[in-house]
Structure 1
Amino acid sequence: MNESTSDTIAATSAPVPTTVPATSRTAHPTTRPASNPFANQAIAPTHTVTLANRAPDESHESALLHTAITDELAVAMLEGRWPIGEAMTLEDIQERFSTSRTVAREVAKYLEAMGAVTVRRRVGLMPRPVGEWSALNPQVIRWKLMSDKRKEQLRTLTELRLAVEPAATAAAARNASMEARALFPVMASELRKSGEAGDLDTFHDLDVRFHSSILLSSGNDLFASMSDIIGIVLKGRVELHMYPQKPKPAALDAHDAVAEGIWRGNPDQAREAMRTIVDEVAESLELT
C-alpha cells in the first residue's frame, strides 16, 4: 500500500473557473489594418474587467487583464475568428484591449507557452493549429470548454475518463493506505446527503473532491497528475448547464459502490462501479 496517500488524500483540485472576474477595464475592439485579424470586426469581447469594492492594485488589475485577454484571444483562435496565417502584433493587442505594452507582452508569452501561437520578431503572434496546443494542460482544456468546441471537448475528455478512472479506482483499492480508504465511504455518504437534499453546490464540490481523491490515492503518479483535469471536466459540465438538476439515484448508488470497493480493498468492485458512473456521463451527454 502507498503510505503517503493519507497525506495527499485531503488535497483537492482547484479547477480554473470558466469565467473571468470583472475589472474596471473593458476590452474594446478597434479598427486596424488588414494584417490585424480583428480589423473591421465588431466582435464583442468575451470578458469585461472591473475592480469592485477594493483599492486600486496595479498587479492585481494586470493579472485580471492578462487572464481576460488570453481567454479572449484563445477562444477567438478556437472559433476561427483569429485564423491561422493572420499575424497580430503587440501593438494590435495594446490598441484592441486598451492595455499596456507589459500586459501585451505577458499575453504573448503565455499563449506561446500553451502552444497556441508562435511569436516571430517583426511579425507578431501567429496562431498554431489547435492540434499542436498543449491538449492536456488544464488551461487549454478550460479554453476549449469556453468555446463553441465545448461538446467535442467534453466528448474527448469523457473518453479519457472511461480509459483512466476505472483503472485508477482499482489502483486506489489496491494501493491506498487504510486511512485514505476509510475516507471514501464518508465522502460518498456526504455526496448522497447533499444530492438528495438538492444542495447542488455542495454536491458538486464533493464530487470533484471524490473523483480527484481517487486519482491521488491510486499510487500512480500519472493518474495523480490528472486530478486537476478531472476536476475541470466535472466543474465544466456544471457551468455549461449539462448536469441534471438533481443527481440520479443510480449515480449515488454507484458512488457508494465505488467507495465500498475502495474501502474493502476490492479492485474489481471499485473498477466496475466507476465504469458505471462514467458510462452514465457519456450517455447523458449523448456521446455514446
Structure 2
Amino acid sequence: MVSNTTQSQISSDLVTENAPLHLSIADSIADEIVNNKWEPKTNRKLEDIQKQYGISRTVAREATRLLASLGCVQFQRGTGVIACNPENWDDLNTRVITWKLHSPYRENELRALTELRLVVEPAAAAGCALRGDVEIRYKLGVIGHDMVKAVEENRLADFHELDIQFHTLLLANSGNPIFAKLSSIVESVLRGRVELNLYPQKPNKEAILNHKKVTQAIMEGDAAAASAAMHDIVAEVNTALGLAAL
C-alpha cells in the first residue's frame, strides 16, 4: 500500500521557490480541494480567496482561472468560485497529476498511471527499436550504462534523473507523436515517486537488468524483446507499490 505524506511535505513539494505567485496560490487551492478542506460543490467569493491568501484580486483571478481551465473550479455569477470534484479534473495535465499524487487520491492515481504506462511504454519501446535513429539508440545505451554505474556507486539521485531521461527519451523517439506527448506525464509520475519516497533505497536488480534488456533490444532493432522487457519494468513497479494495476 502507498502511504500518505504530511501536509507540510505536500506543500513543500508542490510550491517551488521561484514559481509565479498565481501558480503557487493555485497549488494551494487545489491542495485544499483534493484534501477535502474545500468541499466540492461549495463556493467561495473571490474576495474570500484574496483575504485568505493575502493576495491581490488580479492574482486571485489568475489562480482561479488556471484552476477552471483544468476542471478544478467553476465560476457562477452571484455565487463565486465553486469547487469541482477531483474525479472530474483534467487527469492528463501534469499539474493535476502532481496535485493528486500529493493527496488521498495517490494510490488510485498511481494505479491509473501505471495502467497507462503498461499499455504505452512497451509499444513505445517497440517503436523505438523499429524507428529510432542511430543517435537515439546510442544515447539510450549510454543512459542504460550510466544507470548501472550510478547504482553501483550508490548515487541514487543520479539514478533517478537517468531513469527519467531513459523513459522520456524513449517515448519521445518511438515514432508515435501521441506517445511523445505522454512523455511529460511519465516524467511527472517518476518525479512524484522520488518526492514521495516511493523508490527503494537500492533499485531492484531485476529492474536494472530489464533496462539493459530494453537498450540492447533497441540497439538490435528487436521490437518484441524491447516491448517485453519494458513491460517487465513497469510490471515490477506495479508489484513493488502493490497497486494491482491491470
Tell me the TM-score normalised to structure 2 length.
Answer: 0.91
SS of the residue corresponding to residue 126 of structure 1 reads strand
Identity of aligned residues (%): 41
- Residue of structure 2 in register with 1:31 after alignment: none
Aligned residues: 233
1:143 aligns with 2:94: no
1:187-198 to 2 correspondences below 5 Å: 187-198=143-154
What's the offset of the Cα at 1:120? 1.6
What's the offset of the Cα at 1:21? 2.9
Contact kept? 1:173, 1:262, Cα under 8 Å? yes
Counterparts of 2:176 and 2:143, CA distance in 1: 21
What's the offset of the Cα at 1:150? 1.2
- Residue of structure 1 in register with 2:121 after alignment: 165
* Cα displacement string for residues 184-241 of structure 1 (whole angstroms, at most 9, x for unaligned residues): 1111000100112110111100100000001001010110000000011111111111
Counterparts of 1:220 and 1:125, CA distance in 2: 39
What's the offset of the Cα at 1:254? 0.5
- Residue of structure 2 in register with 1:214 after alignment: 170
1:84 aligns with 2:40: yes
Q: Greater Rg, structure 1 or structure 2?
A: 1
Of 201, 204, 214, the match for 1:258: 214
- Residue of structure 2 in register with 1:21 after alignment: 16
Gaps of 5+ in 1: 1-16, 23-59
SS of the residue corresponding to residue 235 of structure 1 reads helix
SS of the residue corresponding to residue 125 of structure 1 reads strand
Counterparts of 1:99 and 1:257, CA distance in 2: 52
| Structure with the higher fraction of residues in helix conformation | 2
Question: What's the C-alpha RMSD, in Å, of the aligned pairs?
Answer: 1.4
Tell me the TM-score normalised to structure 1 length.
Answer: 0.78
- Residue of structure 2 in register with 1:156 after alignment: 112
- Residue of structure 2 in register with 1:285 after alignment: 241
SS of the residue corresponding to residue 214 of structure 1 reads helix
Gaps of 5+ in 2: 1-11
- Residue of structure 2 in register with 1:248 after alignment: 204
Of 116, 125, 131, the match for 1:175: 131
Counterparts of 1:287 and 1:150, CA distance in 2: 11
Letter in 1 for 2:16: P
Letter in 2 for 1:172: C
Letter in 1 for 2:119: A
SS of the residue corresponding to residue 155 of structure 1 reads helix
Counterparts of 1:253 and 1:130, CA distance in 2: 38
Tell me which stretches of 4 or more aligned residues in structure 1 moved more than 2 Å: 129-132
- Residue of structure 1 in register with 2:158 after alignment: 202
What's the offset of the Cα at 1:64? 3.7
What's the offset of the Cα at 1:65? 2.7
1:47-66 to 2 correspondences below 5 Å: 63-66=19-22
Contact kept? 2:27, 2:99, Cα under 8 Å? yes
